[in-house]
């Protein structure tokens, strides 16, 4: 089973750290899980403008193929101005409508204050539902205070929630695969 973690941020590192933590924890739970982190900072995804998919740059085509080929996902997003980043929404606009159909997707988000804690439920989950994803009932929101100055997760509660999310993700995917 191929688990892809998608960090939908092009600034900072906290989102990628959270996504990477979930995929690493998931990998430990299943011997047959292959993982890959897609950090949008590493790709230059073009703005969608209606061209056929094969006419976009190599980075855009590469990231779309990696997502299409995956079996299940962790999607991470920083929350800016009470919303997911435009670069993540742009990527979603590039994807075929069936990309997440009947595939399990976990959500992790991070933001500066607790006021952004429900953005995943109010914005990201409806997008994933549109794509017919099986969205994990649990999601994890983390504030900057959970990290130390070296961007390491130091909040034990956050670590426990990431463990539970990984367990839920692998459990649902395993049940679906069987």
Tell me the average pLDDT across 17-23. Answer: 98
Model confidence pTM above 0.85: yes
Q: 112 vs 22, which has greater pLDDT?
A: 22
* Whether the Cβ atoms of residue 119 and residue 82 lie closer than 8 Å to each other: yes
* Whether the Cβ atoms of residue 18 and residue 140 lie closer than 8 Å to each other: yes
- Contact partners, residue 157, CB within 8 Å, separation at least 6: none
Which pLDDT does position 114 carry in this prediction? 86
Report CA-CA distances (Å) from 111 to 60, 86, 114, 139.
Answer: 26, 15, 7, 14
The proportion of the chain whose per-residue pLDDT surpasses 90, expressed as a percent, equals: 91
Residue 77: which H helix or E strand, with range? Answer: strand 72-78
pLDDT digits (tens, 9 = 90+) for 54-91: 999 999 999 999 999 999 999 999 998 889 999 999 99
Distance CA 74, CA 157 (A): 19
Which pLDDT does position 59 carry in this prediction? 98
pLDDT at residue 178 is higher than 90 = no
* Whether the Cβ atoms of residue 70 and residue 98 lie closer than 8 Å to each other: no
Tell me the average pLDDT across 159-167. Answer: 97
What one-character-per-residue DSSP string does 92-144 give?
A: HHHS-TTTTTT-EEEEEEEESSGGGTTHIIIIIHHHHHHTT-EEEEEEEEEEG
Which pLDDT does position 81 carry in this prediction? 87
């Amino acid at each position: 089973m191929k688990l892809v973690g998608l960090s939908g941020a092009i600034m900072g590192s906290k989102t990628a750290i959270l996504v990477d933590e979930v995929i690493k924890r998931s990998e430990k739970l299943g011997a047959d899980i292959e993982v890959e982190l897609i950090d949008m900072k590493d790709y230059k995804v073009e703005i969608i403008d209606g061209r056929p998919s094969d006419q976009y740059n190599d980075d855009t085509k590469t990231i779309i193929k990696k997502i299409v080929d995956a079996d299940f996902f962790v999607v991470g997003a920083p929350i800016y101005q009470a919303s997911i980043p435009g670069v993540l929404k742009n990527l979603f606009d590039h994807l075929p409508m069936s990309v997440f159909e009947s595939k399990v997707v976990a959500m992790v988000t991070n933001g500066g204050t607790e006021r952004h804690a429900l953005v995943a439920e109010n914005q990201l989950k409806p997008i994933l539902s549109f794509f017919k994803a099986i969205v994990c009932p649990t999601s994890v929101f983390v504030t900057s205070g959970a990290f130390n100055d070296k961007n390491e997760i130091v909040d034990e509660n956050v670590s426990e929630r990431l463990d539970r999310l990984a367990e839920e993700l692998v459990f649902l995917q395993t049940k679906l695969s069987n």
